[in-house]
Amino acid sequence: MSGGLTTHVLDTAQGRPAGGMKVDLFRLNDTERTLLASVLTNADGRTDAPLIARGELQAGVYELVFDVAGYFADSGLALSQPAFLTRIPVRFGVADTGAHYHVPLLVSPWAYSTYRGS
């Protein structure tokens, strides 16, 4: 059975999941950037379904793009104009299609971190 792809976003500035953040998923190759999914995170900061379902993950390079400026503006948090962080791209490679890839984002209006989760 092949693996899948999931994400979640935690708002470290306000100490809560980042519900309502737009996340776009792209697959990249040498000449194209193809949009695979465009979703909003739920109240738990997660997507309602995997971004790529178990069994459909293919080897290659992917990019998640998180609309953090839109999220923080909607949350009522005061931001500089323009916002310091606007859209955060996280580009990563998938080598093992049998493994699950979980790519979380920890974010504030001024900093972020990510890692390969489980």
The CATH number covering residue 16 comes to 2.60.40.180
User: pTM higher than 0.75 for the full model?
Assistant: yes
Instruction: Please give the DSSP secondary-structure letter assigned to residue 8.
Output: B
* Count of domains observed in the chain: 1
Give the angle 74-24-114 at the CA atoms, nearest 5°: 85
* Helix runs in 3-98, H state only: 68-75
Asked whether residue 70 is assigned to any structural domain, the reply reads yes
Residue 40 token pair: 């909003």
In angstroms, the first-to-last Cα distance of the chain is 16
Q: For the chain, 118 residues long, give each residue's pLDDT as a single digit of tens.
A: 568 999 999 999 999 999 999 999 999 998 999 999 999 999 999 999 999 999 999 999 999 999 999 999 999 888 899 999 999 999 999 999 999 999 999 999 999 999 999 8
Q: Check if the beta carbon of residue 29 is closer than 8 Å to that of residue 60.
A: yes
Question: Could you tell me the residue range of the domain that residue 73 belongs to?
Answer: 5-109
Rounded Cα–Cα distance for residues 3 and 53 (Å): 8
